[in-house]
Structure 1
Amino acid sequence: MDSRSTEPELTEPKPSAPQITPPPKLPAASPRKALLMVGGVVLLLIVGAVVTALVRIHNGDVLAKETEQEATPTVAVVHPVAEKPDEELVLPGTMQAYEESPIYARTNGYLLRWYKDIGSRVTKGELLADIDTPEVDQELMQARANRQQVLAQLDLAKINADRYVNLRKTDSVSQQEADQQSSGYEQAVANLAAADANVRRLEELESFKHVYSPFTGVLTKRTVDPGALINAGVSGAAGKELFDIAQVDPLRVYISVPQSYAPSIKNGMDAEVTLQEYPGQKFKGTVARTAEAIDPATRTLLTEVDVPNKKGQLLPGSYGEVHFRVGMNAQKVTLPVNTMLFRQEGAQVAIVGIDGKLHLRPITIGRDYGTTLEILGGVEVGDRVVINPADSLEEGQPVNVVPENGPPVPGGQ
């Protein structure tokens, strides 16, 4: 036998299983303590939720404020600059003829000839043109012939009426026959009156073939030539304007005086008119009348100054400057031209108020200095006026104001 089979088999000892020591038995917690522990956990969860909600609300408010601030327009502002007050008021004025009238024909026909052209000085009643009126001439001749017929009938009716009156005295005719003859005579008298009225009408109509000047002045327009068809009437109907005449001595100069100066303008006060084409010359005038009311659209007082024009140097339609010695010191300021807003309501500027909102104010413009404008009313020295205002700006709109140094500040505060 194999020796290995006789030897006892050696086996490795099996490891023994570890012994687990059970945890010591703790005494059971009391119900009150367990409730406090659960309440603490719940309280921590609630506090965490509240803190999270507050953080989210704060972040939302910050984001909303930043968004609102970014959406709010940012503007730059300037302050009006006060001008040195003076006692002379200089305003632009427009010259107009003292009297001006178009001349139309009062009868139909053809222009035979004209005697005066544009620029001609004419006197009242001077002949300007002749019109050939063949139809009116023929109607007048016919009317005169008809009058002669009616006159002959009147004579015959008178003879018959007288004869029947005498015959009636001897009862040779009836009363009815005598009355008929008397009535025929009265009818013939009425026919003669109608014929006379028709003749006078046509004679007056024919007299319109001569066109005369209605007043002393200068012809400023002539619109017809010989041979042109002339129709009676006025503009808009069949008629055509023949001439325009204007009285140029004196001239009327119309000025819009700002409301702040209106109390100083009195009827009869002296004024002087200057024109660029006559440097160094001053044409004296007098305030003739005012509108006695402020125009609500422009806040100005319409004023008329009459200026003598003996030499004819001043021309209707010209532009000039009118100088008034108003004797008062009205507040005047200047603003850059790029602060103006021109809308349907007129010239305006945008003012930033102490509440940080825009307020649109109408202004009265005086003299134009090129890059700046003289403002006679509507703003004060302490106002904050927006530069380069956008057309989208509206009344009451909040804005951010850019200070001279630093980032935009809401409301400029």
Structure 2
Amino acid sequence: MRTNLFRNTIAMAGGIALLTLINGCNAKAEKEGGKKERPVAIATFKLKKDKLATALQLPGELSAYQQVDLYAKISSFIKTLKVDIGSQVNKGQLLMTLEAPETNSQLAAAQSRLKSQEALYTASKANYERLFETSKTPGTISKNDLDQAIARRNSDFAQFEAAKAAHKEIAAIRDYLEIRAPFSGIITARNVNLGAYVGPSGKGSEFPLLTLQEQKNLRLAISIPELYTGYLKEGDEVTFTVKSMPDQVFSAKVKRLSGALDLRLRSEKIEMDVPNTSKRLLPGMVAEVHIPLPASVSTFVVPKKTLLETAEGIFVLKNQNNEVVKVAVKKGRETDDRVEIFGDLKTDDQLVSSPSEEMQSGQLIQP
């Protein structure tokens, strides 16, 4: 009886073990079957090339076409002042005169030395010429006397030339006592009054005597970011507005390109000439510049929602044999809803219309 009970117990234990093994195999099979992905239906589109024309808004600054700060060349006093702030002047016009009594004394001394040296040279020259004529009669003048006369004449001539140069130098310095306009324009600053002491250094020279600007033409300067430097060339037209006349649109043409990037801002400085005969625009105004960027070549253009921007970079998701493939791209010009992209792409590639970070490379999709 005990033997039968023992056999029944063993049979029951074996049955339980067999059932456990069968259930485990079935669970494993079910588990492995659950790992099989099913393709997810995803909206895609075919990549095409297009020309994307955009515009760029940048701040700019208006400045005078020419500007000069006028200083005193020599220490002196303001004798006459013929202009004031806002005075319109022409090239070469006398703006002010300075007074330096010691310069007048130096000029008088230079003139006296010049006349003295001229007289000495005239005498030595006449003496040499007389001796030379006399020496034509043999035995009348020794060769030594004639040589000394020649040397004396040459020495006095050198002294005479030096006196002329010194006189010319003093006269040129005296000309600096008259301040004249180097070009036509308008006086925009005056920092002196009659009788004020001015000089090339020290007190009286901290500020310029006058500031002259040419305002019939202005310069408009902007800094183009590195990304857009290839889109502007000489002769292109831009438009701009200023805060004082927001409803007035002005135009200008690109005239000068620096041809190099500023190392600090990574941008290229560009200048435009702005006609300003009406003088409504003033130097120093800040302008809001509208720069059209026409498309010259076709590029890949996609809706902005096609881009997947992550911490690792910017990507698009491409369908390759019904699997997701991540492709790194760089952005170009943008509009409100479209953007240029550059990367390892070709025409007619299928891109996911609205990617998300949950989508991973290798995921099965049904376009």
How far the C-alpha of 1:332 sits from its partner, in A, is 11
Paired with 2:180 and 2:251, the residues of 1 have a C-alpha distance of 33
Quick check: which has more Rg, 1 or 2? 1
How far the C-alpha of 1:261 sits from its partner, in A, is 2.5
Unaligned runs of 5+ in 2: 1-51, 314-330, 341-353, 357-367
Paired with 1:281 and 1:353, the residues of 2 have a C-alpha distance of 45
The equivalences for 1:12-411 within 5 A come to 87-168=54-135, 169-232=137-200, 241-328=208-295, 352-353=311-312
Paired with 1:139 and 1:174, the residues of 2 have a C-alpha distance of 43
> How has the CA–CA distance of structure 1 residues 111 and 176 changed in structure 2, closer, same or farther, with 3 Å as cutoff?
same
Q: 1:118 touches 1:221 (CA, 8 Å); kept in 2?
A: yes
Paired with 1:114 and 1:331, the residues of 2 have a C-alpha distance of 67
> How has the CA–CA distance of structure 1 residues 239 and 141 changed in structure 2, closer, same or farther, with 3 Å as cutoff?
farther
Residue 32 of structure 2: aligned partner: none
Q: What's the secondary structure of 1:187's corresponding residue? A: helix
TM-score under structure 1 length normalisation: 0.57
> How has the CA–CA distance of structure 1 residues 247 and 332 changed in structure 2, closer, same or farther, with 3 Å as cutoff?
farther
Residue 319 of structure 2: aligned partner: none
Paired with 2:114 and 2:216, the residues of 1 have a C-alpha distance of 48
Amino acid at match of 1:299: R
How far the C-alpha of 1:120 sits from its partner, in A, is 1.8
> How has the CA–CA distance of structure 1 residues 296 and 104 changed in structure 2, closer, same or farther, with 3 Å as cutoff?
closer
How far the C-alpha of 1:170 sits from its partner, in A, is 4.6
How far the C-alpha of 1:155 sits from its partner, in A, is 2.0
Amino acid at match of 1:194: A
Q: What's the secondary structure of 2:247's corresponding residue? A: coil
Aligned residues with identical type, % of pairs: 27
Amino acid at match of 2:156: A
How far the C-alpha of 1:159 sits from its partner, in A, is 2.5
Higher relative contact order (CA 8 A, sep 6+): 2
Q: 1:93 touches 1:253 (CA, 8 Å); kept in 2?
A: yes
Residue 37 of structure 2: aligned partner: none
How far the C-alpha of 1:270 sits from its partner, in A, is 0.9
Q: 1:351 touches 1:383 (CA, 8 Å); kept in 2?
A: no
> How has the CA–CA distance of structure 1 residues 297 and 202 changed in structure 2, closer, same or farther, with 3 Å as cutoff?
closer
> How has the CA–CA distance of structure 1 residues 202 and 92 changed in structure 2, closer, same or farther, with 3 Å as cutoff?
same
Residue 18 of structure 1: aligned partner: none
Paired with 2:206 and 2:249, the residues of 1 have a C-alpha distance of 43
Amino acid at match of 2:163: A
Aligned-residue Cα RMSD (Å) equals 4.1
Paired with 2:355 and 2:312, the residues of 1 have a C-alpha distance of 8
More strand by share: 2
Q: 1:105 touches 1:239 (CA, 8 Å); kept in 2?
A: no
Residue 9 of structure 1: aligned partner: none
Residue 13 of structure 1: aligned partner: none
Amino acid at match of 2:312: G
How far the C-alpha of 1:148 sits from its partner, in A, is 1.2
> How has the CA–CA distance of structure 1 residues 207 and 93 changed in structure 2, closer, same or farther, with 3 Å as cutoff?
same
Amino acid at match of 2:193: D
Amino acid at match of 1:352: A
Paired with 1:194 and 1:332, the residues of 2 have a C-alpha distance of 82
How far the C-alpha of 1:173 sits from its partner, in A, is 3.8
Unaligned runs of 5+ in 1: 1-84, 334-349, 355-362, 367-375, 385-413
Paired with 1:278 and 1:147, the residues of 2 have a C-alpha distance of 64
> How has the CA–CA distance of structure 1 residues 150 and 91 changed in structure 2, closer, same or farther, with 3 Å as cutoff?
same
How many aligned positions are there?
Answer: 274
How far the C-alpha of 1:269 sits from its partner, in A, is 0.9
Q: Deviations over 1:310-358 (max 9, x none)?
A: 111111111011112222499998xxxxxxxxxxxxxxxx97338xxxx
Paired with 1:332 and 1:244, the residues of 2 have a C-alpha distance of 54
Q: 2:189 touches 2:210 (CA, 8 Å); kept in 1?
A: yes
> How has the CA–CA distance of structure 1 residues 253 and 132 changed in structure 2, closer, same or farther, with 3 Å as cutoff?
same
Q: 2:198 touches 2:204 (CA, 8 Å); kept in 1?
A: no
